[in-house]
Structure 1
Amino acid sequence: MQTLVDKVERAEERRRKLRRMLRVAVPIVLIALLIVGGFYYYFPFATGMKSGRLNYVVYKGIVFKTYEGRLIQAGIRPADTGGFQSNEFVFSVSDKEVAEQLMNAGGQTVELHYTEYLGALPWRGYSRYVVDRIVNITDNGGDGVAAPTEGTPEIM
């Protein structure tokens, strides 16, 4: 028959083993979570270029102020008759100078270089797509209608 002292000693030994395991397991789990989170939020998933007509760029946010924008890409004719399909590209801008250039280019056709992440961070922007530079800005003449070429009559 076990004495009370033996039972207390065994219980104390189990607590010591549990503490040792926790001292090793908790840091390993925290490091694993940091690695997975860092990969998810900071590893670039893809990079690319988008072009289209710049709809808007705004500076917004309550706690984290970020530059957010929308690009309307050229539509494609759907299989059904009539109409065009509009494709929107919603993005965040990482650089203040790039955002200010885009704010002055509203309504113009722009080509943007972006980086896509797996997740969005509040201080980086609301979108997974982060524009880091402007490749080209094309002026549309202000009204979005191409000027008539020589020899073609203007329709009024």
Structure 2
Amino acid sequence: MNTSENVGTKKSGKLGKILSWIVVILLIGVSGYVYYKYYFVFGEGVKSGYLNYAVKKGNLFKTYEGKLIQEGFGNSKKGPGISSNEFEFSVENDSIFRLLELNSGKYFDLHYKEYHGVLPWRGNTRYIVDQVIHMQ
């Protein structure tokens, strides 16, 4: 066997190992970023207010969207005075959406999860309501 062939095979074997490790590290990095951005729950909480609307909308992905009007004092964008706070959210669960849709205008306590990013099939907002705690 020729020694120059051996050296060439060893070099290409090392290069292949290095490239495969780089690909593995990149895949792990991209997977970690995607998980953190779109699936990691950044925050959870409860918002209370009057349900302004609950709609199903979207061009490609039909998602459930809603808005709560929260009472209280706030900074009005048009100058000093009283304004309401709005909480826009998305809903993944059909049964929760039906409950909201049938009770528009009522006072709700909604449990939500907050994500860093928005997925088009999950909704138009980073806030996903996953539970109705109380309704009046």
Unaligned runs of 5+ in 2: 1-5
Partner of 2:118: 120
Choose 1 or 2 for highest CA Rg.
Answer: 1
Partner of 1:68: 65
Q: Greater shift after overlay, 121-130 or 13-22?
A: 13-22
Unaligned runs of 5+ in 1: 1-8, 139-156
- TM-score, normalised with respect to structure 2: 0.83
Q: CA 1:77/1:87 → structure 2, altered by over 3 Å: closer, same or farther?
A: closer
Which amino acid counterpart does residue 107 of structure 1 have in structure 2?
Answer: G
- Aligned residue among 17, 23, 34 for 1:37: 34
User: Is 1:20 matched with 2:20?
Assistant: no
Describe how 1:1-156 pairs up with structure 2 within 5 A.
17-76=14-73, 83-138=81-136
Q: Greater shift after overlay, 58-67 or 12-21?
A: 12-21
CA distance in 2, matches of 1:77, 1:32: 41
Deviations 1:52-99 (A, max 9, x none): 1111011111221110111111131659x9631221101000110000
Contact 2:74–2:84 (Cα < 8 Å) also in 1 = no
Contact 2:92–2:130 (Cα < 8 Å) also in 1 = yes
Helix, strand or coil for the counterpart of 1:125?
Answer: coil
Query: What is the aligned-residue RMSD (CA, Å)?
Result: 2.5
Report percent identity of matched pairs.
43
Partner of 1:146: none
- TM-score, normalised with respect to structure 1: 0.73
Contact 2:47–2:110 (Cα < 8 Å) also in 1 = yes
Q: CA 1:42/1:77 → structure 2, altered by over 3 Å: closer, same or farther?
A: closer
Contact 2:74–2:85 (Cα < 8 Å) also in 1 = no
CA distance in 1, matches of 2:20, 2:30: 16
Q: CA 1:77/1:18 → structure 2, altered by over 3 Å: closer, same or farther?
A: closer
Q: CA 1:49/1:61 → structure 2, altered by over 3 Å: closer, same or farther?
A: same
Which amino acid counterpart does residue 96 of structure 2 have in structure 1?
Answer: V
CA distance in 2, matches of 1:53, 1:97: 19
